[in-house]
Amino acid sequence: MAVLLVLASGLSLAQAQDHPEGGNRTLDPRDPHPFGEAGTGYWSFRLGYYDKQDNGQGNPFVDESVTVIEPVIVYDYQASEDFGYNVQFNFDHVSSASIKRLSVYDAQSGASGDNYLGVDASFRHKLTDSTKFNWHAGISTEYDYTSLGLGAGVSHTLDPQDAVLSANLNAYVDSVKLIRYNGVDQGTDTRTSLAGTLSWYQVLGPNTHGELGVTLSAQSGYLESPINSVVIEDPLLPPNPYLANNARGTEISEELPNSRLRTAIYGTVRHALDDRNAVELGGRLYHDDWGIQAYDLTPKFIHQFDSGMLVDLRVRYYDQTAADAYQASFTDPLNIPVERTQDSELGKFDSTLLGTHVRWSDDAAWDFGLDYLSRSDGLDHVFFSVGWKQSF
């Protein structure tokens, strides 16, 4: 709760001061696909990597380590003054202990990883000088997952008020192949996700601007992870060789509600200290009907060197409560909850992230980001990405 109060205090700190340089700027600073001149565009490429380390903490029964390598290619073209499009190709290679574990079962022998392939095309239309409309469609596939995505958004600039109001709606219709923790294929099921976002960008003063937004999402259908299991511990059983710690217990499937309502309220305020230095405070409040409440707070410092290189340093603190269905251990075989999970991502934890992001330009624009995330349950993460962008 303190997060939004701090952000609101930041909003109210805006002070009117003249800036000698003056100048004009487009009032849509969060627009990921801004309008350019007709006939211009860019190619961009990003290589992302993240690694989750399992040092024996978190869920003791499974090895939760994951490594993901993700290249992304984007082509963006401004076909006319009022119309542009953007095509994004994504590929992920996921190497995880939980997938490799399936290979011990005959039904999934040879399983070692997951490859994700996705393409998304977005189209932007300038309806008037102050109103823009965009829509997108995408498809992605994995060995156990197929998804169709559609979305649209509109933004409207309020010039006298120095504000931009935006609304977006995104929907995904997914098909999940039910390959269970023991390799058994139980057919397919569906998952539908609908998310609506309202955001409000506001110039707060010559040196300060920010954004406040809310995202409401509703999911229904099969919301479990098919390969997740819970372990019913029983000291009378022999050690189970399929469990990471050879615990004495029996695995059964994870079961979660078939609907989920989620609310995220987020905000960012950035304040210029001078032409080369700025500070930012971002935060988010989150609530869902599975029992998870979370917040994060991200202060950031941004500096531009004489060479033009931009460097930002950020710290992000995140805290969440556990889902109602989460238990670290299940010990009573006669009283197994209908809804149950031991997924560490649904447990109680907090995390602290330290990260830096560097951007520079020569003939092309480059950026490099590196983050280390330390979690209270021992499941630390490191992730980095390098990006390249060539405009034409």
Partner 1 sequence: MRQSPWRWLLAAALLGLAASCNTVEFYQKGRLGTPVMDLSQDPTLTHFEQKVFYSIEGAAGGIGASAGGGCGCY
Segment 352 to 381, residues that bind partner 1, using CB under 8 A: 367, 369, 373, 379, 381
Spell 320-337 as b/e; 16+ CB within 10 A means b.
bebbbbbeeebeeeeeee
**8-state DSSP, 323:** P
Binder to partner 1 among 62, 266, 281, 340 (CB under 8 A)?
A: 266
Binder to partner 1 among 54, 58, 74, 224 (CB under 8 A)?
A: 74
- Part in contact with partner 1 (CB under 8 A); list of ranges 39-47, 181-189, 251-259, 329-337: 39-47
- Write out the binding residues for partner 1, residues 218-237 only, by CB under 8 A: 219, 225
- Write out the binding residues for partner 1, residues 93-132 only, by CB under 8 A: 94, 114, 116, 118
Q: What is the dihedral of CA 36, 40, 43, 44, to 10 degrees?
A: -20
- Part in contact with partner 1 (CB under 8 A); list of ranges 197-205, 238-246, 250-258, 329-337: 197-205
What is the number of alpha carbons within 13 Å of residue 389 lying toward its C-beta?
13
Binder to partner 1 among 62, 102, 176, 256 (CB under 8 A)?
A: 176
Binder to partner 1 among 36, 38, 43, 48 (CB under 8 A)?
A: 48
- Part in contact with partner 1 (CB under 8 A); list of ranges 11-19, 230-238, 244-252, 330-338: 11-19
Closer to partner 1 by Cβ: residue 90 or 240? 90
Binder to partner 1 among 85, 138, 224, 243 (CB under 8 A)?
A: 138
The distance of closest approach from Cβ of residue 238 to partner 1 in the complex, given in angstroms and rounded to an integer, is 33
Distance CA 347, CA 58 (A): 9
- Write out the binding residues for partner 1, residues 273-312 only, by CB under 8 A: 275-278, 284-288, 290, 292-294, 296, 302-304, 308, 310
Distance CA 357, CA 338 (A): 45
Closer to partner 1 by Cβ: residue 232 or 265? 265
Distance CA 265, CA 286 (A): 6
Closer to partner 1 by Cβ: residue 231 or 373? 373
How many chain residues bind partner 1 (CB under 8 A)?
A: 130
Closer to partner 1 by Cβ: residue 233 or 284? 284
Q: Rg for the chain (alpha carbons), in Å?
A: 24
- Part in contact with partner 1 (CB under 8 A); list of ranges 47-55, 232-240, 245-253, 331-339: 47-55
Distance of CA 265 to the CA centre of its chain: 15
**8-state DSSP, 340:** B
Q: Is 391 in the site for partner 1 (CB under 8 A)?
A: no
Residue-level length of the chain: 392
Angle at 319 between CA 31 and CA 290, to 5 degrees: 85
- Write out the binding residues for partner 1, residues 140-159 only, by CB under 8 A: 140, 142, 144-145, 147, 149, 151, 153
Query: What are the strands, taking DSSP E only, across the chain?
Result: 41-52, 66-80, 83-96, 114-126, 131-142, 145-158, 163-179, 185-205, 208-221, 229-233, 249-253, 259-272, 277-288, 293-304, 310-320, 349-361, 365-375, 381-391
- Cα distances (angstroms) measured from residue 101 to each of 50, 69, 90, 200, 211: 20, 20, 26, 46, 44
Closer to partner 1 by Cβ: residue 63 or 296? 296
Q: Is 261 in the site for partner 1 (CB under 8 A)?
A: no
Which residues on neighbouring strands pair with residue 82, listed in sequence order? none
The distance of closest approach from Cβ of residue 338 to partner 1 in the complex, given in angstroms and rounded to an integer, is 20
Closer to partner 1 by Cβ: residue 250 or 327? 327
What is the number of alpha carbons within 13 Å of residue 74 lying toward its C-beta?
19
